[in-house]
Amino acid sequence: MQEKLNELKARLQAVYDLHGAAALLYWDQATYMPPGGAEARGRQLATLSQLAQEQFTDPAVGRLLEELQPYAASLPYDSDDASLLRVTGRQYQRALKLPPQFVAEIASHGARAYQAWTVARPANDFAAVQPLLERTLELSRRAAEYFGWPAGGHVADALIEEADYGMTVATLQPLFAALRQQLTPLVAAIQQQPAPDDSFLYRHYPEQQQWDFGVEVIQRFGYDFQQGRQDKTHHPFMIKFGPGDVRITTRFRENDLGDGLFSTMHESGHAMYEQGVSLALAGTPLGGGASAGVHESQSRLWENLVGRSQAFWSYYYPRLQALFAQQLGDVAQDAFYRAINKVQPSLIRVDADEVTYNLHVIIRFELELALLEGRLAVRDLPEAWRASYRDYLGVEAPDDRDGVLQDMHWYYSQIGGGFQGYTLGNILSATFWQAANAAHPEIEAQMAEGRFDALLSWLRANIHQHGSKFTAAELVQRITGAPLSIEPYIGYLTNKYGALYGI
Ligand code: ZN
C-alpha cells in the first residue's frame, strides 16, 4: 500500500509542479511581462494546463485511487492519507467528466470574451459582449450537464461545488435571504444618521509611504517575506508557486488612502492561509486553501475584523499619523475610525463597505440562478441588474460600465459558482473570529499593542494547517460544534455599526 501511495503522490507532485510553473508564468504576465509577450505566453499557459490535466486524468491515477480504497477505509476520516484519497478521488472523478475538447472550447471562448470585455467596459458597450455572454451561458449550462447534479438539486449546484464544495442552492438561498432580511433594516437605520466625514482619506498620499506602511502592517500580521514578496498590479491578487513561495500583489491610488492599504491587508490574509498549510500536504490536492469561501474568510478577517477595528488603529493610527503628518495631522483617531467604516449604498461591489457588500453579492447570485434556469435572457440582464440595485440598495447605475459590466467574472469564466464565496467568506470570517476570541480573550489587547501572534496561531492550528482536508461546513462544525450560521456575522455587524452610528 505504501508503495502505491508513494507512486500516487509522485504523480500528483508532477501535476502540481506544472501548476506552479503555470502560476509563475501568469504572475509574470500580470506584473513585468512586456506587451509583446502576450501571444506566446497565452499559448505557454494553455500548454502547461493541458499537460497538467492530462497527467492528472491519467488512468494510472484512477487505478491507484481504486487500489488504495481499502487502505483509505482503514484510516480515520481526518488523517492526512484518508483525506488525500477522499479529496483526490473527488477531483479526479470531476476532471474526467469534461471532454478535453470541451475544456479547450471553454478556454478559447473565455479568452475571447475577456478580451472583448476589456474593451466593452470602458466603452459602456454591453451590446458588444452580449452574444459572447450568451455563449458563456450556453457553455456554463453544458458544463453543468457534464458534471451533473443530484435529483431535486439545482443546475447551479454543479458549478458551485467547484469553488465551494458541499454548498448548494438549497443551503445558500435561505442563508442569503436571512442575511438580506437582517441587513436591509440595518442599512436603512444607518442612512437615517449623519454620514461621517471621510474627505481626508482622499488627500494626496505618496505611493512609497503607503507601500512602506502596508509592508510594516502585514509583516506584523505574520506574512513571511522570506516565503513571498509583494509587487504591483492593476487588480491585486495572491498566487502560490509552491510551499515557500506565496506572493501577493497590490495597487495604490495616491488620492485614496484606503484602496491600497485594505487591499494589501486582504491579499496578505489569503497568503498567510497558504503559507500556513502543513508541509506534509504540499504537492497534492490538499496543499491549498479549502474553498473560495474559506479563503475569503481569511482575507476578510484580516482586512475587516482586524484592519478596520478600533483595537488595531489604537496602535497604528499614531504611526500612520506621524507618517502622513500633513494629511492627517488635523484628524483625530476616532474620526479616522469612523471614516474607514463609513456605510453608503453604492454601485461598485469592490468598493462597498462591510454592511452593504453582501447585497452586491446576493444580487449577482440571484441573477446567475435566473440566467441558468432560463428565467432571464442575457439581453434583459442590464435592466434586471438595474432593477435589483434599485430594490436591494436603492441606487441606480447611470450606465452599464458601473452596472452589469463591472465584474470580470462572467466574462472570463462561467456563469454560476463565482460569487457565493464572497458572502460565505464574510459569514465565516465572523464565525472564526468569534471562536478565536473565545479561545484567546487576549487577542484584542494584543492587537492594541500591534501584536497578532495569538490570532495567527489560532488560525494556523484550526484552519490553515489543514489545507483542503475539510470542507467549509466540516471546519465550522469542528471549530464551533454547530452548523454554519449567520448569527456571529450579524452579531458582529450589529454591535460594531450600532455603536458607530448610535443605533
Ligand atoms: Zn479575496
- List strands edge to edge, sheet with 238-242: 230-232, 245-250, 238-242
CATH architecture of 169-501: Orthogonal Bundle (1.10)
Rounded CA gap, 60 and 283, in Å?
18
Catalytic center residues = 267
Rounded CA gap, 307 and 288, in Å?
24
Rounded CA gap, 323 and 191, in Å?
33
> Ligand 1 centroid vs 350 CA: distance in angstroms?
10
> Ligand 1 centroid vs 266 CA: distance in angstroms?
6
CA nearest to 318, candidates 299, 297, 338, 332? 332
Rounded CA gap, 35 and 300, in Å?
33
Whole-prediction pTM: 0.97
Q: Which residues face 231 on adjacent strands?
A: 249
pLDDT of residue 413: 86
Q: Which amino acid is present at 104?
A: A
> Ligand 1 centroid vs 347 CA: distance in angstroms?
19
Task: Give me the residues of the chain with pLDDT under 70, please.
Answer: none
CA nearest to 238, candidates 296, 161, 164? 296
> Ligand 1 centroid vs 238 CA: distance in angstroms?
8
> Ligand 1 centroid vs 236 CA: distance in angstroms?
9
pLDDT of residue 500: 97
What are the tens digits of pLDDT across the range 258-311? 999 999 999 999 999 999 999 999 999 999 999 999 999 999 999 999 999 999
Cα–Cα distances in Å, from 470 out to 10, 155, 159, 434, 473? Answer: 23, 24, 19, 20, 8
> Ligand 1 centroid vs 267 CA: distance in angstroms?
6
What stretch of H or E contains 241? strand 238-242
Instruction: Tell me which residue has cell 522570506.
Output: 226
Question: Where in the chain are the domains?
Answer: 2-124, 169-501
pLDDT of residue 108: 86
Q: How far is CA 35 from the centre of its chain?
A: 28
pLDDT of residue 412: 87
Residues with CB under 5 A from ligand 1 (ion): 299
